[in-house]
Amino acid sequence: MADYLLPATEVPACQLPPSIIDVAGGVPTTWEAVLAGDGDMLGKLARNAARGDATGRSGGGAYAVVSGLVPSVPVPASLNLPFTAGWGMLDGPVTKRTAFTVAQSPGASRAWQWMDATGAVTPVLNSLSPPGNPHFHCGSCSTTTDQVTSVDLSGVFYLRAGTLWVRTGDVGAPPTSGDAASLAGSLPTEKSFFHRTQDGLYIWDGSVYTKIPDAAADTLEAAIAELELELDDEARKRRQILRFLGTDVGFEMPDYLMDEFLLAMEEAGAG
């Protein structure tokens, strides 16, 4: 099972397209039909390819895993890191139809796994920078001389229903400063994403993180607050009764007598 132990200062930055895609000036913005014998066949194919890339970029906004591609510690032990089948998004979809393995170097404290547009995965040792662009990050691992010992998915961006999502091991709110190659030190100003930490779920809006309230926690806190008010009101009534009786506030009255007094006070309108 993979972990989420690394903070945002120790995972790769959100990977973004390197430049604006230029389809070409003065041509239709929609897809162009390509027919046999067309004198501009190659030009239309190139422009359509550029439109496809632009669609992928605007649909996801960043390079990310879409489904699967989950690494795990190999069983039996070895230096071959197994991945499940799946697909990711660069300028277009990158599909791996079957499970596969990636050979790892021995003695790596941290090997970051980066997939390119061909589906090839390149491990990068002890560096947050990708081996080139476009690549997306699909996890990291640590190795000894002869086996992969741990796998971590901290900092892996996922594209879920068109929304970016990432998780790190930070305690509290995600940090907003760090090494330029890290997520914390290179937060995108033109992208938004959900970011889960040990403290809860946050959303990055391009300028600040905002925590998303936890419904269950909020419901519990509201119930506790309401109970405390009820208890405070009950204690107030008890003090009124004791003062009315001229009894020391520390005196403990039996519950059945207190209930009778409370009922009498409510009926008399003195509660």
> Are 186 and 16 within 8 A, CB to CB?
no
Q: Dump pLDDT digits (tens) for 166-191.
A: 999 999 899 999 999 999 999 999 88
Look at residue 271 in the predicted model and tell me its pLDDT.
47
Beta strands, E only, the chain: 64-68, 80-83, 86-89, 93-96, 100-103, 111-115, 121-125, 136-143, 148-152, 158-160, 163-167, 193-197, 200-204, 209-212
Rg (CA), the chain: 30
SS3 content of the chain, % helix, strand, coil (to 5): 25, 25, 50
Q: Between residues 269 and 80, which one has the greater pLDDT?
A: 80
Q: Dump pLDDT digits (tens) for 93-141.
A: 889 999 999 999 999 999 999 999 899 999 999 899 999 888 999 999 9
Look at residue 181 in the predicted model and tell me its pLDDT.
94
What is the biggest distance separating any 2 CA atoms in the chain, rounded to whole angstroms? 107
Domain segments of the chain: what residues? Answer: 8-17+63-212, 18-60, 215-268
- Looking at the predicted structure, is the pLDDT value of residue 211 above 50? yes
pLDDT band at 83 (very low <50, low <70, confident <90, very high): very high
Beta strands, E only, 172-219: 193-197, 200-204, 209-212
Residues 198-219 have a mean pLDDT of 86
Look at residue 240 in the predicted model and tell me its pLDDT.
59
Look at residue 8 in the predicted model and tell me its pLDDT.
96
pLDDT band at 220 (very low <50, low <70, confident <90, very high): low
Residues 215-230 have a mean pLDDT of 67
Q: How are beta strands 193-197 and 163-167 bridged, if at all?
A: parallel
- Looking at the predicted structure, is the pLDDT value of residue 155 above 80? yes
- Looking at the predicted structure, is the pLDDT value of residue 265 above 60? yes
pTM of model > 0.75: no
pLDDT band at 68 (very low <50, low <70, confident <90, very high): very high
Look at residue 65 in the predicted model and tell me its pLDDT.
94
Q: Minimal CA–CA distance to 202: which of 245, 232, 167?
A: 167
Look at residue 91 in the predicted model and tell me its pLDDT.
75
| 8-17+63-212 CATH, one of 3.90.320, 3.30.70, 1.10.260, 2.60.520 | 2.60.520
Look at residue 41 in the predicted model and tell me its pLDDT.
84
Q: Dump pLDDT digits (tens) for 20-51.
A: 666 666 566 677 788 888 888 888 888 887 77
**Range ranked top by mean pLDDT from 46-60, 194-208, 209-223:** 194-208
User: Which percentage of the chain shows pLDDT scores above 90?
Assistant: 50
Q: Between residues 36 and 68, which one has the greater pLDDT?
A: 68
**Lowest-pLDDT range, 9-13, 117-121, 243-247, 260-264?**
243-247
